[in-house]
A and B are shown apart, each in its own frame.
Chain A
Amino acid sequence: GAVVSQHPSRVICKSGTSVKIECRSLDFQATTMFWYRQFPKKSLMLMATSNEGSKATYEQGVEKDKFLINHASLTLSTLTVTSAHPEDSSFYICSARGGFETQYFGPGTRLLVL
Chain B
Amino acid sequence: QQQVKQSPQSLIVQKGGISIINCAYENTAFDYFPWYQQFPGKGPALLIAIRPDVSEKKEGRFTISFNKSAKQFSLHIMDSQPGDSATYFCAAGRGGNNRKLIWGLGTSLAVNP
Interface residues of A (CB under 8 A from B): 4, 6, 32, 34, 41-44, 46, 49, 51, 57, 91, 93, 95, 97, 101-108, 110
A-B contact list, 25 entries, CB within 8 Å: A4-B43, A32-B99, A34-B100, A41-B108, A42-B106, A43-B89, A43-B104, A43-B106, A44-B44, A44-B89, A46-B101, A49-B98, A49-B100, A57-B98, A93-B43, A101-B32, A101-B93, A102-B49, A103-B99, A103-B101, A104-B46, A105-B36, A105-B44, A106-B43, A107-B43
Chain A residues closer than 8 Å to B99, beta-carbon distance: 32, 97, 101, 103
**In the complex, A91→B44 CA distance in Å?**
12
Max count, chain B CB within 10 A of own CB: residue among A44, A95, A102, A105? A44
List the 9 closest pairs (A to B, CB-CB), nearest first.
A105-B43, A32-B98, A43-B105, A108-B43, A49-B98, A107-B43, A105-B44, A93-B43, A101-B32
Query: How far does the Cβ of A83 sit from chain B's closest Cβ, in whole Å?
Result: 26
Please give me the residue from chain A that is nearest to B10 by CB atom. Answer: A41
Please give me the residue from chain B that is nearest to A2 by CB atom. Answer: B46
Residue-wise, chain B 31-72 has the 8 Å CB interface mask toward A (1 for contact) of 010101000011111100100000000000000000000000
**In the complex, A40→B65 CA distance in Å?**
29
Interface residues of B (CB under 8 A from A): 32, 34, 36, 41-46, 49, 87, 89, 93, 98-101, 103-106, 108
Interface residue SS majority, chain A: strand
Contact B103 A44 (CB under 8 A): yes
Chain A residues closer than 8 Å to B32, beta-carbon distance: 101
Query: How far does the Cβ of B3 sit from chain A's closest Cβ, in whole Å?
Result: 12
Contact A93 B44 (CB under 8 A): yes
Query: How far does the Cβ of B50 sit from chain A's closest Cβ, in whole Å?
Result: 11
Please give me the residue from chain A that is nearest to B106 by CB atom. Answer: A43
Query: How far does the Cβ of B49 sit from chain A's closest Cβ, in whole Å?
Result: 7
Contact B34 A102 (CB under 8 A): yes
Chain B residues closer than 8 Å to A103, beta-carbon distance: 34, 46, 99, 101
